[in-house]
Amino acid sequence: MDRESVFWRIADGRLPPPPCAETLGIEFLRVTPESGSIEVKFEATSAFLNLAGHVQGGFLAAMLDDTMGPALVATLDPGEFAPTVSLNVQFHRPARVGALKGIGRVLLRGKEVCQLSGELLQDDKVVATGTATAVIRRMGTQTAWAAAQKPA
Amino acid sequence: MDRESVFWRIADGRLPPPPCAETLGIEFLRVTPESGSIEVKFEATSAFLNLAGHVQGGFLAAMLDDTMGPALVATLDPGEFAPTVSLNVQFHRPARVGALKGIGRVLLRGKEVCQLSGELLQDDKVVATGTATAVIRRMGTQTAWAAAQKPA
């Protein structure tokens, strides 16, 4: 963990969040790297609505990705990054324009492979749950990462 | 299938796409309901970028959702809708700002439960693949749908 990392400077409000998080209206409510948990707030806008007038599931998936990812990123050492390699989302009920709360947990903090879980709530009701696998890489290992990701 | 449905009027350019699809820059390239397949184009903007400068995985998931969903919706009868109940995405390589192509297929067209698959390409290289489960509902069955989705 590196309290001077870009992540922590964003979580502390010393730097603006990256564009994707800004688009999702992120706000960090609580980051507890010791227990690998996080609480974030999102703001669903009318730009996320589908034909039924609900928030499209993919945008809920994007919020879950931006809940689970930061739970892990908060624990990283300098020079480490952790791309998500798979994301699984279950949809429980429709979500509408307005605030959502994301709760993320690091279930397994391996040296490389990490397993994450998250849930997304609106008005204290679960609208979606998810799991993700992320792989910790060190700067300079991008080539190995790319090679590992290349289809055989 | 109903060529006068809202979906077909959107696919034919007679109606604008819903906000989420507009946000993702959707364009329908080919819709073949007979084989349950679809090709769509998306436009990743800088608003989708993560800290690494790549398109955040969640936004790729949103694009896959908007590829697989329409592949099924194109086959629906009047009064039917098909919410996605689960979405699984695998990330193959980073994507950048610009055009992406989504290819979706209906793997199983059940009376209710449908299984879908999709892939997302940039410059003819696969950046993400996904599967989804959707459940066909008829107007007026929302209560049953809500009940079925409610945690036990």
Rg (CA), chain B: 16
* B49–A85 CB contact, under 8 Å: no
Residue A26 lies in a domain: yes
Report if residue B17 sits inside a domain. Answer: yes
Task: Determine the residue among A46, A66, A84, A97 to mutate to test chain B binding: the one whose Cβ has the most chain B Cβ atoms within 10 Å.
Answer: A84
Alpha helix stretches (DSSP H) within chain A: 6-11, 19-23, 57-73, 142-149
**Interface predicted TM-score (ipTM) over 0.90:** no
For residue B150, being part of any structural domain is answered with no
Chain A nearest C-alpha distance from B34 (Å) = 23
Within-domain flag for B112: yes
> From CA A128, how far away is CA B130, in angstroms rounded?
17
B152 found inside a domain: no
* Chain-centroid distance, C-alpha A53: 24
- Domain of residue B108, residue span: 6-143
**Chain B CB within 8 Å of residue A72 CB:** no
Give the span between the Cα atoms of B10 and B70, in whole angstroms. 11
Using CB atoms, pick whichever of A7, A47, A151 lies closest to residue B19: A47
A1 in any annotated domain: no
Cross-strand pairs, B98: B44
The reported pTM is: 0.89
* Domain annotation covers residue A139: yes
Domain count, chain A: 1
Closest Cα of chain A to B132: distance in Å? 9
Q: Give the separation between CA B78 and CA B145, rounded to whole angstroms.
A: 18
User: Which of B10, B40, B51 is the mutation pick for testing A, counting most A CBs within 10 A?
Assistant: B51
Which residues have CB under 8 Å from B152's CB, separation 6+? none
CATH number reported for the structural domain that contains residue A48 in this entry = 3.10.129.10
pLDDT in tens, A37-85: 999 999 999 999 998 899 999 999 999 999 999 999 999 988 888 999 9
Q: Give, for all 152 residues of chain B, the pLDDT tens digit.
A: 778 888 888 988 899 999 999 999 999 999 998 999 999 999 999 999 998 899 999 999 999 999 999 999 999 988 888 999 999 999 999 999 999 999 999 999 999 999 999 999 999 999 999 999 999 998 764 444 444 444 54
What CA–CA distances, in Å, run from B142 to A119, B136, B146?
Answer: 23, 11, 6
Query: Considering the domain boundaries, does residue B126 fall inside one?
Result: yes
